[in-house]
Structure 1
Amino acid sequence: MKTIVTTAGRTNELFIEKAQAIAAELSLPYINRQKKSVKALQERYNTDVLVVSKERLEFYAIGTNAPFFFHPNSAAFRLKRLLKGEPDLFLEATNLKRGNSFFDTTAGLCSDSIIAAYATGDSGTIYACEVNQIIAYIVSAGLKSYETDFVKLKTCMQNVNLVHMNAMEALKAAESNSYDVVYMDPMFEELIEESSNFEILRSIGHHYSLTIDWVEEAKRVAKQRVVVKAHFRSGLFENFGFHRLIRQSSKFHYGIIEI
């Protein structure tokens, strides 16, 4: 048993039914909480735990006490800076314009896809894939239901179409020259983000090394450019033919392949 679904400690019939529906949707077992702690459930069933509460979905990987949950994370701060007219390195690298289409092959928390949605506007298309089923489900639900008074952020989140799929499978299913920009931010090297939620994401997410097949498929699907984000010490820029955008004060760099 890999993951069980349960409710918060204090719950009601509405959220019990919601948790049961989510369990059925994900083909996972539902377990009655019965006032047990998350740790007790992890130990009893030797499994991860997905908790359905009023506020949000929380995923507790076995052996951990801190949950993974959806939050706009750095996207909210970046969007506020953009609205003030400040630059964003990601948008400089992708060169996204109104009406463009963007394919994020490594969605995670969708922070970059949210910013891409701002750049491309309502006429743009944002497609993102995430290989981990639980992460994809939590983030997809959060993009649709996260409560905020920041109207622009909410609009951008709702314009992201996130699916549970492996990057290579998603790319192979796409037609040639079908997206203006194809993007990848593989989590297999040194830690770049420093938020606690990102550290949890990194610990539970799938780690794949960039491959020549991945890059070639991205080049086939992209109309304008393929963009990669990686630690500044990474060798993948040179290894796969990316033109590196160097930022002296940044822990990460972007690489570009023009189509």
Structure 2
Amino acid sequence: MCGITIVTTAGRPDEYSERLAQDACEALNLQFVPRKKRSVAKMSKEYDANVIVAGKERYEYYPKGAAAPFFFHPNSAAFRLKRVDRGEMDPMIAACELMPGDSFLDCTLGIGSDSLVAAFAAGQKGKVVGIEANRNVAFIVERGMQTYDTSELPLTACMRQIQVICSEAVTYLKSLPDHSFDIVYIDPMFEEVIEESNNFETLREAGEHLALTKEWVDEAVRVAKRRVVLKAHFRSGWFNEFGFQRDVRLTSKFHYGYIIKKKAI
């Protein structure tokens, strides 16, 4: 699905970055290619491949033709968590009606911002699983969540709590029993680009673009105990097509929709 991918180091590798490169090769069964002072763009063209760079502090992923790398960073989740911690409402938590102890399945993990917020809301007794179809993205995010160094303890705890699964959403959903998760969450790549969200442009280049289907929704409904939640562009036809009740947000270019299985007790 990702095409050919090679692993290399930063331009001036140290022992740590060389070890990171070896770890990536072993985890993903990829070929290591010495940097030899070549640019990432030159290596990508020469090998006709995506490139994972093991740097001194993090992994960076350059899909073929990408001008900028994809890498893990808590991003907007850190700001959202601070607001939630102050008692402010988060639209995703509200749409999901997430409560402490809930189980949350994120069918479209991406950079993991929504899963991080869900892990905070679900608490230590909750369970958060994120599915990512692109194995390179899944690897970068999983390792980032396990190793990212931050002094913000709630954020660190949330990152360590999330289980990352590399799989297509429908395939993974089919492997689960009925009513496996309280909430099943779906946030596909928007059909329309939201200009204000240019910080996700590298994810758009790196990730898989999977359209929502009836099979996907049907499996999500089967697996969910309480509700299935969809995040999509406000002009999306998916809400009506698949029977989601829309939560209209007049000041936002994306809306949430939900299919309720039963009211929480």
Following the alignment from structure 1 to structure 2, what is the Cα–Cα distance between the partners of residues 227 and 248?
Answer: 18
Tell me by how many angstroms 1:191 deviates: 2.2
2:253 match: 251
Equivalent AA in structure 2 for residue 17 of structure 1: R
**Of 96, 112, 115, which residue of structure 2 is paired with 1:113?**
115
C-alpha change, 1:66 and 1:57, in structure 2 (3 Å) is: same
**Of 34, 38, 41, which residue of structure 1 is paired with 2:36?**
34
Following the alignment from structure 2 to structure 1, what is the Cα–Cα distance between the partners of residues 194 and 152?
Answer: 26
Q: TM-score, normalised by structure 1?
A: 0.96
- Of 54-63 and 115-124, deviating more is 54-63
Aligned residues: 259
**Of 126, 129, 132, which residue of structure 2 is paired with 1:130?**
132
1:206 match: 208
**1:48-98 deviations in whole A, cap 9, x for unaligned?**
110001211001122223111001111001001111111110011000101
Following the alignment from structure 1 to structure 2, what is the Cα–Cα distance between the partners of residues 4 and 195?
Answer: 29
- Contact 1:188 1:209 survives alignment (8 Å): no
Following the alignment from structure 1 to structure 2, what is the Cα–Cα distance between the partners of residues 141 and 21?
Answer: 10
C-alpha change, 1:72 and 1:149, in structure 2 (3 Å) is: same
Tell me by how many angstroms 1:24 deviates: 2.4
Following the alignment from structure 1 to structure 2, what is the Cα–Cα distance between the partners of residues 158 and 17?
Answer: 22
Q: TM-score, normalised by structure 2?
A: 0.94
Equivalent AA in structure 2 for residue 207 of structure 1: H
Equivalent AA in structure 1 for residue 13 of structure 2: T
Following the alignment from structure 2 to structure 1, what is the Cα–Cα distance between the partners of residues 45 and 74?
Answer: 31
- Contact 2:16 2:56 survives alignment (8 Å): no
Tell me by how many angstroms 1:192 deviates: 3.8
- Contact 1:183 1:226 survives alignment (8 Å): yes
Tell me by how many angstroms 1:196 deviates: 4.1
**Of 216, 219, 222, which residue of structure 2 is paired with 1:217?**
219
- Contact 1:181 1:223 survives alignment (8 Å): yes
Runs of 4+ that moved beyond 4 A: none
- Contact 2:188 2:211 survives alignment (8 Å): yes
**1:142-175 deviations in whole A, cap 9, x for unaligned?**
1111111111111111111111111011101111
- Contact 1:68 1:197 survives alignment (8 Å): no
Tell me by how many angstroms 1:197 deviates: 4.1
**Of 224, 230, 237, which residue of structure 2 is paired with 1:228?**
230
Equivalent AA in structure 2 for residue 60 of structure 1: Y
Tell me by how many angstroms 1:188 deviates: 4.4
Is 1:80 matched up with 2:88? no
Tell me by how many angstroms 1:15 deviates: 2.5
Following the alignment from structure 1 to structure 2, what is the Cα–Cα distance between the partners of residues 205 and 109?
Answer: 9
Tell me by how many angstroms 1:35 deviates: 1.5
SS at match of 2:218: helix
1:179 match: 181
1:18 match: 20
Segments of structure 1 that go 5 or more residues without pairing to the other structure are none
RMSD of Structure 2 on Structure 1 (CA): 1.3
Following the alignment from structure 2 to structure 1, what is the Cα–Cα distance between the partners of residues 22 and 44?
Answer: 18
1:69 match: 71
Equivalent AA in structure 1 for residue 229 of structure 2: V
Give identity over the alignment, percent: 50
SS at match of 1:98: coil
SS at match of 1:126: strand
Following the alignment from structure 1 to structure 2, what is the Cα–Cα distance between the partners of residues 258 and 38?
Answer: 47
Is 1:148 matched up with 2:150? yes
SS at match of 1:224: strand
- Contact 2:179 2:224 survives alignment (8 Å): yes
